[in-house]
Amino acid sequence: MKVLILGSNGLVGSSLVRNLSSNREFKIVSATRNEADLFSSTETKNLIEKVEPEIIINAAARVGGIVANNTNRTEFILENLKININLLESLIGHDDIKLINLGSSCIYPLGAEIPINEDSLMMGPLEPTNSPYAMAKLTAIEMGDAISKQYGNEIINLMPTNLYGPNDNFSETSSHVIPGLIRRLYEAKIQTSKTFSVWGTGKPKREFLHVDDLADAIGFLIENNHTPHLMNIGSGEEVTIQELVYKLKDIIGYKGEIVFDTSMPDGNPRKLLDSTKINSLGWKPKIALEEGLNNTVDWFIKNKSAN
């Protein structure tokens, strides 16, 4: 089975290449911007026609944390829309190609009932700080649904919870919460800083999933020929930002004081996905948060010169 992985250099893409390549049933073709610029409809279409995959996994996206989402709102909606429009339009006339499209839990409404079920989609306003990114992902779901109904392609939309792991973006300004904290805490340790500031109150609760668990879930769905239209993938466990910071503080060995800057926004107060659908099929995550954080910190320290 030939599987084309788009965005294979990123957090999710690199994990998919690592994990799926070990399965002899899959012939993995990885694609980065060197192989095709997904902002170009011509290059996107040419790549698909050249590779002739049976399955495409779309892990290509412009992503970032709360700061990046809120300050680069235009880029987040335009760039993600371009990628999805070009990819989905290229599938027209190739109804034998299955697409696994990766979205984000931020597509769900701000006030959705916890845990968030797939039926909550489009049932309320989005969280304001990342609404442009969420809108691009929602548009991809709607476009995929239209193409599936009109042209017959199987299109699976997977909504993972907050991801982390090796090969993440550890930028201080554009990263998600875990890699951003890892980098800053490590630098604070090296600089022997007396205090370490964290945005917000520390009270919001978040669910995190190691990226290798997501790759495992995708492999599980492919191997068992499950084709859900929309499915959440989460760990089912919550942790407050405060608890997370102190866990990383201990792992990294930072000795200073943690200070929460309550003048800065918290974002969504709580976000936990209902992963009943995939759990009922027989899949469960394998990597506990403590193990995953240690694994990610180790990777960062070994590769910090590249981040």
What is the bridge-based pairing of β-strands 205-210 and 238-240?
antiparallel
**Measured in whole angstroms, how far is the alpha carbon of residue 91 from the centre of its chain?**
23
Verify cis geometry, omega within 30 degrees of 0, for the bond prior to 160. Answer: no
Contact between 292 and 208 (Cβ < 8 Å)? yes
Long-range CB pairs of 123-129 (<8 Å, 24+ gap) are 127/267, 127/268, 129/66, 129/69, 129/70, 129/265, 129/267
With vertex at residue 68, the alpha carbon angle to CA 201 and CA 168, rounded to the nearest 5 degrees, is 90
pLDDT at 27: 96
pLDDT value for 70: 63
Res 171: pLDDT: 82
133 classed as catalytic: yes
Query: What three-state secondary structure class fits 223?
Result: helix
pLDDT attached to residue 270? 85
Backbone angles phi, psi at 117, to 5 degrees: -90, 155
Q: How many residues does the chain have?
A: 307
Catalytic residue among 133, 164, 186, 254: 133
Distance between CA atoms of 68 and 60, rounded to whole angstroms? 17
Could you give the angle at which helices 241-252 and 177-190 cross, rounded to 10 degrees?
40
Q: What is the distance between the alpha carbons of residues 156 and 145, in angstroms, rounded to a whole number?
A: 9
pLDDT at residue 62 in the model: 80
- The answer to whether 80 touches 134, Cβ cutoff 8 Å, is no
How many angstroms separate the Cα of 303 from the Cα of each of 10, 40, 115?
15, 32, 36
Query: In whole angstroms, what is the distance from residue 80 CA to residue 144 CA?
Result: 14
Give CA–CA dist 61/279, Å, rounded.
Answer: 26
> Do 188 and 197 meet the contact criterion of CB atoms below 8 Å apart?
no
Give the contacts of 306 (CB within 8 A, at least 6 positions apart): none
pLDDT score for 24: 87
- Cα distances (Å, whole numbers) of residue 285 to 139, 140, 279: 28, 26, 9
Task: Write out the chain's pLDDT in tens, 307 residues.
Answer: 999 999 999 999 999 999 999 988 899 999 988 899 999 999 999 999 999 999 999 999 887 666 665 677 899 899 999 999 999 999 999 999 999 999 999 899 988 999 999 999 999 999 888 889 999 999 999 999 999 999 999 999 999 999 999 999 998 777 889 999 999 999 999 999 999 999 899 999 999 999 999 999 999 999 999 999 999 999 999 999 999 999 999 999 999 999 999 998 887 788 899 999 999 999 999 999 999 999 999 999 999 866 6
What Å distances lie between residue 105 and 94, 95, 137, 256, CA to CA?
Answer: 29, 28, 10, 33
CA 122 to chain centre: 20
For 29, the token pair is: 């073709």
